[in-house]
Amino acid sequence: MTTDSDVPRRPGKIIALHLNYPSRAAQRGRTPIHPSYFLKPPTSVAASGDALERPMGTELLGFEGEIALIIGKRTRRVHPEDGWAHVSGVTAANDFGVYDLRYADRGSNLRSKGGDGFTPLGPSVLPARELDPAALRVRTWVNGELAQEDTTAGLLFAFGRLVADLSQLMTLEPGDVILTGTPAGASVVRPGDVVEVEVDSADRTTGRLVTPVVDGTVPFGQYGALPRVDGRQRAEAYGTPSFALTDDLKRRLTSVGTATLSAQLRKRGYNDVSIDGLTSTTPGAKLVGRARTLRYLPYREDLFHAHGGGYNAQKRAFDSLESGDVLVMEARGEHGTGTVGDILASRAKVRGAAGIVTDGGVRDVEAVTALGIPTYHSGAHPAVLGRRHVPWEVDVSIACGGAAVQPGDIVVGDADGVLVIPPPLVEEVVDAAIEQELQETFIAEQVAAGERVEGLYPMNEEWKSRYAAWLTRR
């Protein structure tokens, strides 16, 4: 039996657990010995179907499908084996938060997770007395696609333990809510997305808790913490660790040409990973780094009025660059205006960025060139951004120069052009490219010495044997 009449609408307390599912702990790279918690305000509760605003000026609205425990009676200093008896029911919950404000409250999560509507609950409650707390399942869908699924069979901290632990220091009152952690798969949603969470056990279900995400329309004031993100927050928000572009990997990527890397990618079926039609301000320099992305929309007066001024997406992108980042911009191949000038290029250099790639134009091209930061572009143009573009969003999948680019992709550039390499392929591709260039060095030496190309390029078995001997002498 399920009921919606017992879904708390203004609980006295909402206590949320940081980590409880082994899959999420593995994703975070840490497994706690004891449970740890934070509070969410009662005003953060919302019902199924209520729209949730992504606050204006933020980009990393994270969802976390969870099982919510509803306390049924006054609870103080109970033992773990008795804790479940103090739970009246469970329901589905979504522990929303904006990673853009995590820095503001040093771990309390008050602003990042305490916004109005950030704790949807429902739509129905499953009576605890009819459930096995170790046999529940939680699932989350985003736009109809399953994003999270896990069970309570292997939790780090059983539900009875959570109730007992909290009751050591505080009295739990009827209607209080405990959010019990989220499994792996939590990520970022955007306006237009719909998130659904369901908790079930055998033939019982809470039904799907539905939350449509919409754009916020009220900007943050200058009298409080403003949204900001960095690479770590971005990686945690999307639920995947940042790819480790080590110094050794950079050295190996720098040692081979994009022509060779392109050949190895093509052998693996990747034929559309070059960003085409661009010129470098430093054609003799090699570019290697992690992709950060920025997307522009075509200019439209009302959109530029709303998004083009102030601390817009373009400025946020440059301000958030970190050492080794390459800012890749989607400008739709429109080079009739600048997408970056000397001031922002200087900001990228000061931040330690590895380079800039845009399929649009560059202003102040002589000054940008003088900065020495590799900048690939489709041409110089004196006009300002607002002539053709609206800076729209940061760190999303984009198209640049005919290539798909995702945040975290590896970007390599030289005089031959720019390539985008998916991180899982990098080690394999660079090792094969190094071997290919060794073979080509050997072949070039033989041709220079007068050998025929036939049988040598590509090498037959006889020449492969000679190549192996050549390698031992190096």
pLDDT tens-digit map of 174-207: 999 999 999 999 999 999 999 999 999 988 999 9
Rounded distance, CA 444 to CA 457, Å?
A: 9
Question: What secondary structure letter does DSSP report for 286?
Answer: -
d(CA 93, CA 46): 10
The two three-digit tokens of residue 197, written as one number: 């969470």
Asked if 421 and 261 count as a contact pair (C-beta separation under 8 A), the reply is yes
Mean pLDDT of 30-51: 95
What sign does the CA torsion over 454, 456, 459, 460 have? positive
CB 407, CB 293: distance < 8 Å: yes
Overall pTM surpassing 0.95 (yes/no): no
> Could you tell me the CA-to-CA distances from 451 to 51, 211, 454 in Å, in that order?
73, 70, 9
Q: Is the pLDDT of residue 1 over 50?
A: no
Task: Give the model confidence (pLDDT) of 335-376 as tens digits.
Answer: 999 999 999 999 999 999 999 999 999 999 999 999 999 999
Mean pLDDT across 295-301: 95
225: three-class secondary structure by DSSP: coil
d(CA 151, CA 138): 6
**ω into residue 123 within 30 of 0, thus cis?**
yes
Please, what is the average pLDDT of the chain? 93
Domain ranges of the chain: 14-235, 273-421, 428-473
Q: Which CATH class is domain 14-235?
A: alpha beta
Q: How confident is the model at residue 474 (pLDDT cuts 50, 70, 90)?
A: confident
Helix (H) or strand (E) holding 258: helix 258-267
Q: Which numeric CATH code is attached to 273-421?
A: 3.50.30.40
User: Element (H or E) spanning 201, and its range?
Assistant: strand 194-201
Percent of the chain whose predicted confidence (pLDDT) is above 90:
82
The whole-number average pLDDT for the span 447-455 is 94
